[in-house]
Chains A and B, each alone.
Chain A
Amino acid sequence: MLSKLKGFTLLEILVALIICALVVVLTSELLLHAKERRIRVTSAATAISFELALARLRGDVSAATHARRGNKNVQISSPSDDVIKISLFRLAFMPSKSRVGMVQVEWTFEPSGVSRSISEDIKPVKVDVSASEHRIQKVESNVYYLISKVNDVEFAQIVDLR
């Protein structure tokens, strides 16, 4: 026992070195790509949130009330170059009054993200992004293209007000 405590043999050191090298190889690959992969996963999660917000916007626009002249009563405005506001009225369940009633829904597309504000909302929509650009293009009368660029990925959706 005493002789063993004096030091390591060459074989032991070699085995230890091989094991160390193996551990380094295994972990280095993981550490090198971990940050990049985390960014990719976060970016994908943001994109999914944005997709869900767009799907909800489509639902809101299709459920919006109609104006007297026939088209949807939806107001699209752009208070500044990089902000788009979509305002509409629709029927929705109001938890505070326990009944269905008319509510005003306001969507705001701005560089910091997208938000949906509604007075009686149970689950407000808020998608925060680091940088985004939004623009609206007219396709035809009462049909618009909402184009957003989020983390260098473009999203396009038709806003049909017919």
Chain B
Amino acid sequence: MGQEARSNLLKCYADPIYILFHVQVKFMSKSLRSRFSGFILIDVLVALSILSIAIALYWQSFSAQSEFNESIRQYYSLRRLEADARILIDIDQLQRLYVAGYRSVSDVSFDSRSITVNLINPIRVVRFVE
């Protein structure tokens, strides 16, 4: 080995970044060391799976929240409709029922003493009888 080559080698060993890198690699596990040698497909796939699970959960929470809100609205709307229908039946003014003011109700049919309500979601029929 020539004088110049030896000098370069010494410079190299004296470089702290070089030393740090080699110390790191030395103490790395075998599997981790092998990762330097190529494309880490499995890592990307795991990350992608986690991302898709997170997105799916986020989406599901949105849908569940919407569904929950809708069921609460329908519950209060029906209670309001029932209370109002009873008052209108009491004063014989059931024909004055303002159907558009009660959400989730697709169709309301009534005679003088009873009211039948068709709900949009879930589809069912509710009947209030005085």
Interface residues of chain A, those whose CB is within 8 Å of chain B, are 1, 4, 8-9, 12, 15-16, 19, 22-23, 26-27, 30, 37, 40-41, 44-45, 47-48, 51-52, 54-55, 58, 139-140, 143, 145, 147, 153-158, 160
> Is B8 located at the chain interface by the 8 A CB criterion?
no
Question: Is A48 a contact partner of B37 (Cβ separation < 8 A)?
Answer: no
How distant is A143 from chain B, measured CB to nearest CB, in Å? 6
The answer to whether A23 touches B39 (Cβ under 8 A) is no
Residues in B whose Cβ lies below 8 Å from that of A12: 39
Please state if A40 and B79 are interface contacts (CB–CB under 8 Å): no
Smallest Cβ-Cβ distance to A137: which chain B residue: B98
Q: B5 contacts the other chain (Cβ, under 8 Å)? A: no
Number of A-B contacts (CB under 8 A): 91
Q: CA–CA, A30 to B77, complex, Å?
A: 31
Chain B residues touching A, range: 35 or more
| Main secondary structure on A side of the interface with B | helix
B87: CB under 8 A from chain A?
yes
* Surface stretch bound by A, among B16-24, B59-67, B109-117, B121-129: B59-67
In the bound assembly, the distance between CA atoms of A16 and B77 in angstroms comes to 52
Q: Contact between B55 and A30 (Cβ–Cβ < 8 Å)?
A: yes
Q: List residues of chain A with CB within 8 A of the CB of B87.
A: 143, 158, 160
List the A side residues contacting B83 at CB < 8 Å: 58, 158
B106 is an interface residue with CB less than 8 A from chain A: no
Residues B17-33 near A (CB distance < 8 A): none
Taken together as a complex, chains A and B put the C-alpha atoms of A19 and B109 apart, in Å, by 55
